[in-house]
Chains A and B, each alone.
Chain A
Amino acid sequence: MQAIIEQYKEIICIAAEHKSPLQIRGGGTKDFYGNAVVSQNNMLLDATAYSGIIAYEPTELVITARAGTRLADLEAALDQEGQMLAFEPPHFGAAATLGGCIAAGLSGPRRAAAGSVRDFVLGVRLLNGKGGDLSFGGQVMKNVAGYDVSRLMVGSMGTLGMLLEVSLKVLPRPMAEITLHMQMDEAAAIDKMNQWAGKPLPISATCYRNGELFLRLSGADSAVRAAHAKLGGEELIEGDVFWKSVREQTHGFFQSADSLWRLSINSATRPLTLPAEQLIEWNGGLRWMLNDENLDAAILRKTAKDAGGHATLFRSNEPGISVFHPLDPGMMKIHCALKEKFDPSRILNPGRLYPEM
């Protein structure tokens, strides 16, 4: 396995010497996400060879695996022990890897209740743009020695380093889980989701689409039944299938040729009166929108910013629009400075996050 790392290092060092960009790629399931790497002739750096689970002890609630490990294999190992990745990451394909999951930084339906990818990252080992083999964080729950470089990697789209190994906190799977659904208009649903999130109820996921609110309850069987009695609504058979379709975007809403925008905003924001089809998650904090070119990107970005958040062009058929929400000049300065420190030759996925980096 060390031989693979030596190969990666050599590739990075040669690329750095020639200032020749590398496109780091795991399973390629998220190729659609982010900007294109800016270069005529990038070299593909395949990150799948360094794979496998290194250590997993269920009673420590920690798993450490190589970045090329398939997400499906990792989740299968956890499932055998009755545990799970609580941030419920989308795979977007069977080939999805742990490294890609961390680099993209995307979390699924359980995020509002349980936390995001970065909340569960405990440590990483990476190669920076100089080929330096570095480890940060560790395999323990609490660790404040040094800056939190591990979590900085989450969502950095491979622009700061090539991930080698990741340690994650894992959680037990809930004893019982049911899904409820009920008819409601959008304004009432946003109100209800936020009010309920402020009460000690075992709600682990929410979704609103077309006049219908879906809730998932997780916990002890008695707790789930008691909450059902309090909340009302009908039980949905095969709730798992529903949540998977939302997570993996196989739900009918996402089967559209239009561009898909992701608005991550203050969850209590009133219904957004934009002429676009919507699907809502995370108690109102995540609003997916289909745009058939009626809406200007600038309007969506302003709407998101005014609501305390940001807008991402998640899947695009509008070339030329930057995928991620523009940064203020002060923030961009820090981003460029960090990029310069981790990858002075600008060879790791340059432009994938922002053209400036």
Chain B
Amino acid sequence: MSPQELVNNLRSFLPPEAVLYEAEDLRPYECDGLSAYRQLPLVVVLPRTEEQIVKILKLCYATQTPVVARGAGTGLSGGALPHAQGVLLSLAKLNQIIAIDPLARMARVQPGVRNLAISEAVAAYGLYYAPDPSSQIACSIGGNVAENSGGVHCLKYGLTVHNILKLRVLTIEGECLEIGGESLDSAGYDLLALMTGSEGMLGIVTEVTVKLIPLPEKAQLVMAAFDDVHKAGNAVANVIGAGIIPAGMEMMDKITIHAVEEFLHAGYDLDAAAILLCESDGGAEEVADEIERIYAIMQQSGATKISTSQNEAERLRFWAGRKAAFPAAGRVSPDYYCMDGTIPRKHLADVLDGIEKLSQEYGLRCMNVFHAGDGNLHPLILYDANQPGELERTEEFGGKILEMCIHAGGTITGEHGVGMEKINQMCTQFKTVELEMFHAVKAAFDPSGLLNPGKAVPTLHRCAELGAMHVHRGEEKFAELPRF
């Protein structure tokens, strides 16, 4: 079918404004939050109902046209990068909260509803939706399901997979599956877990039932400065070793502290090598008890300066710096590239040393912010895309950080997804038989491979070519780094 015929076919059941095909209309959809990768699709469709999506999928299946789903387009791994010969399926217009059940503590919402909008809608009942990715003001719940998004509170409250109950999913053939239930488990295989984080490769989510939890009565924050990154890393281990699961535990390195302090004067100690933010939330008695213990542990762990938030305004001010880390990176550098590796926490200091060495080697600065409680590291590599070759050097630097995370026993992506960006590192993290199993799982849902082709799982051919390239460069990489 020619592109024109495809457009005509789509327009036969969709209103004219829901089918975009002129280059200038397609332009806003050429990339997601990872703007280094750009591609125009053949056509963008903006359905408003599940019935319309069924028709779109049936048409695409019949004509063997690739389909790439897109929520709010805030993803950071190129997962919603369009396919040149495909349809970009925007779910943004399915943005209704269908039902809220305060007693059973759940809400049924369409995929285009913004993450924060759910919490706002249920706040009157004393409830909220826990996962809070930093983009929560803009990102959609459908995208959160596709990426299994986390946030700063996930050590205590879990990721998307822990906070959803049920999905309505359309297969590429347009068949509707109800996965999960209003119950805490369901019959058969745990397809709810399999769908979560599947990056739009298995089906199209048209409805999400999320779990709601009570708003904490109180939240309080301890901010501790350290003159040494190792001491800060040990303090994190000491808090957890004492039987405390903080609501949030964030670390920033020196370059980050300086970048954000210049920007918004959060009151951070500029002499510190690392700052830890450790939050407790829950009932008032629980929080009082925990904060007292956290304070003592920070002291024993050698903190040079410790402050406890005395009121809500101060708590938010302490947080403001951490939350402004990305904008601050944008302020001190024309461009930045955010990585997403996760490591066992005990290797933090070694990995940070390794990043510092790479930073010198590549001549590129790197800010490090860290979800310290759960080991999720976000190095921000600062670069200038207008300098020839700098983006390529940045990507290579980033790739090496991810491989270092794998060697430390971690993973290439904690919460941003593989998408287009980390597809090469998947060849390092997984063996051929495991990649084959991933392709087989995909084929069980989408035998003709039309949903988001080319993302998340590399072809074995691609890995073989990369392997050859790696051998060419020498078998042993980072010979100077310890293997832990």
One digit per residue, 1 when the CB lies within 8 angstroms of any chain A CB and 0 when it does not, for chain B 181-194 equals 11111111111011
Q: How far is the CB of A32 from chain B (nearest CB, A)?
A: 18
Which B residues touch A307, using CB under 8 A? 182-183
- B296 within 8 A of partner (CB): no
Which B residues touch A119, using CB under 8 A? 158, 161-162
Give Cα distance in the complex from A59 to B297, angstroms: 14
Which B residues touch A140, using CB under 8 A? 342-344, 374-375, 409-411, 414
Q: A265-B182, A354-B188 are in contact. Are A143 and B243 (CB under 8 A)?
A: no
- A58 within 8 A of partner (CB): yes
- B426 within 8 A of partner (CB): yes
Q: How far is the CB of B433 from chain A (nearest CB, A)?
A: 5
Which B residues touch A23, using CB under 8 A? none
> Would you call B376 and A200 a contact (CB within 8 A)?
no
Which of B101, B290, B430, B456 is close to A220, meaning CB atoms less than 8 Å apart? B290
Which B residues touch A111, using CB under 8 A? 184
Per the 8 Å Cβ criterion, residues 412-452 of B in contact with A are 412-418, 422, 426, 429-431, 433-434, 437-438, 440-445
Nearest A residue (CB) for B289? A220
Q: How far is the CB of B404 from chain A (nearest CB, A)?
A: 14
Nearest B residue (CB) for A195? B103
Per the 8 Å Cβ criterion, residues 169-207 of A in contact with B are 171-173, 175, 191, 194-195, 197-202
Which A residues touch B389, using CB under 8 A? none
Q: How far is the CB of B375 from chain A (nearest CB, A)?
A: 5
Interface SS, B side: loop
- B159 within 8 A of partner (CB): yes
Per the 8 Å Cβ criterion, residues 279-337 of B in contact with A are 282-286, 288-290
Which A residues touch B426, using CB under 8 A? 145-146
> Would you call B345 and A142 a contact (CB within 8 A)?
no
Which A residues touch B289, using CB under 8 A? 220-223
- B407 within 8 A of partner (CB): no
Which A residues touch B258, using CB under 8 A? none
- A302 within 8 A of partner (CB): no
Nearest A residue (CB) for B186? A310
- The segment out of B55-63, B65-73, B85-93, B148-156 that lies at the interface is B148-156
Give Cα distance in the complex from A201 to B430, angstroms: 43
Give Cα distance in the complex from A83 to B243, angstroms: 8
- A331 within 8 A of partner (CB): yes
> Would you call B182 and A219 a contact (CB within 8 A)?
no
In the complex, how many residues of chain B place their beta carbon closer than 8 angstroms to a beta carbon of chain A?
Answer: 98
Which of A202, A265, A327 is close to B183, meaning CB atoms less than 8 Å apart? A265
- B240 within 8 A of partner (CB): yes
One digit per residue, 1 when the CB lies within 8 angstroms of any chain B CB and 0 when it does not, for chain A 210-246 equals 0000000001111101110000000000000000000
Which B residues touch A58, using CB under 8 A? 240-241
Per the 8 Å Cβ criterion, residues 296-328 of A in contact with B are 307-310, 312, 324-328
Q: How far is the CB of B57 from chain A (nearest CB, A)?
A: 14
> Would you call A226 and B285 a contact (CB within 8 A)?
yes
Nearest A residue (CB) for B147? A144
Which of A195, A221, A353 is close to B188, meaning CB atoms less than 8 Å apart? A353
- B127 within 8 A of partner (CB): yes
- B244 within 8 A of partner (CB): yes
> Would you call A330 and B171 a contact (CB within 8 A)?
yes
Q: How far is the CB of B177 from chain A (nearest CB, A)?
A: 5
Give Cα distance in the complex from A58 to B221, angstroms: 24
- A156 within 8 A of partner (CB): yes
> Would you call B190 and A155 a contact (CB within 8 A)?
yes
- A267 within 8 A of partner (CB): yes
One digit per residue, 1 when the CB lies within 8 angstroms of any chain B CB and 0 when it does not, for chain A 143-161 equals 1111111011011100010
> Would you call A142 and B433 a contact (CB within 8 A)?
no
Q: A139-B409, A309-B181 are in contact. Are A132 and B433 (CB under 8 A)?
A: yes
- B176 within 8 A of partner (CB): yes
- The segment out of A4-12, A272-280, A334-342 that lies at the interface is A334-342
Which A residues touch B217, using CB under 8 A? 200
Which B residues touch A132, using CB under 8 A? 433, 437
Which has the most chain B C-beta neighbours within 10 Å: A128, A147, A160? A147
Q: A60-B344, A199-B214, A268-B103 are in contact. Are A328 and B185 (CB under 8 A)?
A: no
> Would you call B103 and A200 a contact (CB within 8 A)?
no
- B196 within 8 A of partner (CB): yes
> Would you call A194 and B104 a contact (CB within 8 A)?
yes
> Would you call B346 and A60 a contact (CB within 8 A)?
yes
Give Cα distance in the complex from A138 to B414, angstroms: 11
Per the 8 Å Cβ criterion, residues 223-280 of B in contact with A are 237-238, 240-241, 243-245
Q: How far is the CB of A12 from chain B (nearest CB, A)?
A: 14
- A28 within 8 A of partner (CB): no
Which A residues touch B212, using CB under 8 A? 198
Give Cα distance in the complex from A61 to B241, angstroms: 9
> Would you call B198 and A147 a contact (CB within 8 A)?
yes
Give Cα distance in the complex from A209 to B213, angstroms: 26
Q: How far is the CB of A13 from chain B (nearest CB, A)?
A: 14
Nearest A residue (CB) for B281? A200
- B457 within 8 A of partner (CB): yes
- A208 within 8 A of partner (CB): no
- B105 within 8 A of partner (CB): yes
- A136 within 8 A of partner (CB): yes
Nearest B residue (CB) for A308? B182
- 25 example contacts (A-B, Cβ-Cβ < 8 A) are as follows A57-B346, A59-B345, A105-B190, A115-B162, A118-B193, A138-B410, A142-B154, A142-B374, A146-B418, A146-B430, A146-B434, A146-B438, A147-B438, A149-B441, A151-B190, A198-B125, A198-B212, A198-B214, A219-B282, A226-B283, A226-B285, A337-B443, A340-B444, A341-B437, A341-B440
A sample of 20 more A-B contacts (CB under 8 A), given A145-B426, A160-B189, A353-B188, is A119-B162, A139-B344, A140-B375, A144-B413, A146-B438, A147-B198, A151-B193, A155-B185, A172-B243, A172-B245, A194-B103, A197-B105, A198-B214, A223-B286, A223-B289, A264-B181, A264-B185, A309-B182, A334-B171, A335-B188
Top-7 shortest CB links A-B:
A308-B182, A309-B183, A172-B243, A151-B193, A142-B414, A337-B444, A141-B374
The residues of A with any CB-CB pair to B shorter than 8 Å are 57-62, 82-83, 105, 107, 111-112, 115-116, 118-119, 128, 132-136, 138-149, 151-152, 154-156, 160, 171-173, 175, 191, 194-195, 197-202, 219-223, 225-227, 264-268, 282, 285-286, 307-310, 312, 324-328, 330-331, 334-335, 337-338, 340-342, 353-354
The residues of B with any CB-CB pair to A shorter than 8 Å are 101-105, 125-127, 147-148, 150, 154-155, 158-159, 161-162, 171, 175-179, 181-191, 193-194, 196-198, 201-202, 212, 214-217, 237-238, 240-241, 243-245, 282-286, 288-290, 342-346, 371, 373-376, 409-418, 422, 426, 429-431, 433-434, 437-438, 440-445, 456-457
